[in-house]
């Protein structure tokens, strides 16, 4: 646990607003104690000239990092390696993401997260189970053989007591509304993804508790005037929307449109990161298919995108450059908004008294200079 220290930030983003003048941030016991004027903190440690202090990034979709794919190593040690790699990239809180797998693997992933959190692994704040209850027509890189209907055994595992946020991505047209309602009643954050659901089906799922959309635009049909589908439902209704801003998954014009339509309070930047993040490796396997890093994108032999070679600092930089978005809104999409989605507002994703001192120092161009967890780093 961190002791007392004070950082003098030339500029600060508190989770909602940019402060262009210097701010002293007092840390005590791993938490933010106070924000002060520089004159009131002569002992403060100055951060690099021109840098920006922001909350550590919060990423709700991380398949891997540091050379590790969670599906291949469902252990607390693997989670520690993934979190360590992403901490170096500015992400201080993440949901390790299990791609489509069997009931036993889901239970193992939940057990691994429980154990990791109980042992104090820094950065792990919950779990994202992505699939396997998908529409095969929108499988993406998920192995077709892994996709299946939801079972009573799945529901029993997923609705069991869990000490942290649990997100589940499913195709609403493939899962009974009663099951969605049961999941949400148990506290599961149910998101729509890998789906061909109509806007009407999405509306029914929303009434059952659907909370948002996983990697909006990707693995779902495009918006059309008479068939708005999931994208139109997201634009027209409530809920959160994950967004992969890597320059490959979503066109800049679409990124701009969703930012304008939903606003920074609903858009969550996600990395959808694979083992290449924070690693020198350039290839790995998913379901026996070789995935290669080629000109910045991860693809299989058929050219299908397979997650992303992305970190949230890069996503923030790309979003900040878009017309009408700007740096404050882009930063909020990677900090306060995902924290609020997870029910962790005021704990992470902000710089305010009582919040955890999970912080990232960015240079003038938005590159990560250092990360702190609990005030250490």
Q: Which two tokens stand for residue 270?
A: 């996600």
d(CA 88, CA 333): 19
CA angle 111, 125, 96 (to 5 degrees): 65
Q: Which two tokens stand for residue 337?
A: 């908004």
Q: Which residues contact 332 (CB under 8 A, 6 or more apart)?
A: 15, 16, 264, 265
Cβ–Cβ contacts within 10 Å for residue 365, how many? Answer: 8
Q: Which two tokens stand for residue 157?
A: 């595992």
Q: Where are the alpha helices (DSSP H) in the chain?
A: 76-87, 103-118, 152-158, 177-185, 199-207, 229-236, 252-262, 312-320, 326-333, 336-341
- Phi first, then psi, for residue 245 (nearest 5°) are -100, 70
Per the document, the length of the chain is 377
Do 132 and 100 touch, CB atoms closer than 8 A?
yes
Among residues 13, 143, 14, 94, the alpha carbon closest in space to that of 278 is found at 94
Is the four-CA dihedral 33, 38, 39, 45 of positive or negative sign?
positive
Q: Where are the alpha helices (DSSP H) in 128-228?
A: 152-158, 177-185, 199-207
Could you say which of 14, 59, 154, 272 is catalytic? 272
Tell me the sheet residues that pair with 129. Answer: 98, 168
Residue 72 falls in the annotated catalytic set: no
Residue with structure tokens 């990232």? Answer: 360
Do 338 and 71 touch, CB atoms closer than 8 A?
no
Among residues 338, 345, 298, 292, the alpha carbon closest in space to that of 316 is found at 338
- Phi first, then psi, for residue 6 (nearest 5°) are -130, 130
Residue with structure tokens 């609705």? Answer: 159
* Catalytic residue set: 272
């Amino acid at each position: 646990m961190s002791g007392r220290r004070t950082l003098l930030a030339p500029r600060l983003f508190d989770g909602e607003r940019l402060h262009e003048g210097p701010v002293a941030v007092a840390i005590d016991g791993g938490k933010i104690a106070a924000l002060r004027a520089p004159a009131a903190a002569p002992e403060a440690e100055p951060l690099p000239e021109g840098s920006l202090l922001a909350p550590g990034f919060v990423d709700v979709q991380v398949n891997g990092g540091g050379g590790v794919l969670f599906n291949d190593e469902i252990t607390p040690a693997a989670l520690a390696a993934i979190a360590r790699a992403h901490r170096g990239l500015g992400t201080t809180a993440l949901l390790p993401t299990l791609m489509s797998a069997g009931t036993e693997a889901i239970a193992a992933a939940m057990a691994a997260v429980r154990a990791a959190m109980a042992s104090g692994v820094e950065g792990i704040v919950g779990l994202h189970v992505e699939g396997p209850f998908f529409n095969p027509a929108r499988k993406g890189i998920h192995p077709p053989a892994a996709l299946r209907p939801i079972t009573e055994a799945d529901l029993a595992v997923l609705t069991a007591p869990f000490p942290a946020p649990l997100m589940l991505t499913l195709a609403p047209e493939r899962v009974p509304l009663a099951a969605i309602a049961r999941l949400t009643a148990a506290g599961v954050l149910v998101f729509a993804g890998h789906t061909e659901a109509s806007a009407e089906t999405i509306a029914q799922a929303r009434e059952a508790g659907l909370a948002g959309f996983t990697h909006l635009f990707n693995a779902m049909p495009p918006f059309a005037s008479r068939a708005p589908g999931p994208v139109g439902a997201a634009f027209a209704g409530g809920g959160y929307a994950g967004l992969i801003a890597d320059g490959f998954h979503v066109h800049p014009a679409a990124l701009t449109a969703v930012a304008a339509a939903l606003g920074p309070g609903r858009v969550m930047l996600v990395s959808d990161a694979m083992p290449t993040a924070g690693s020198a490796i350039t290839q790995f396997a998913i379901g026996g298919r070789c995935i290669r890093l080629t000109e910045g994108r991860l693809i299989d032999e058929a050219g299908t995108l397979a997650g992303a070679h992305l970190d949230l600092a890069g996503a923030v930089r790309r979003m900040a450059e878009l017309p009408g978005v700007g740096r404050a809104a882009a930063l909020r999409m990677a900090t306060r908004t995902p924290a609020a989605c997870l029910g962790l507002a005021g704990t992470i994703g902000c710089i305010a008294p009582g919040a955890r001192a999970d912080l990232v120092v960015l240079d003038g161009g938005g590159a990560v200079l250092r990360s702190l967890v609990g005030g250490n780093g």
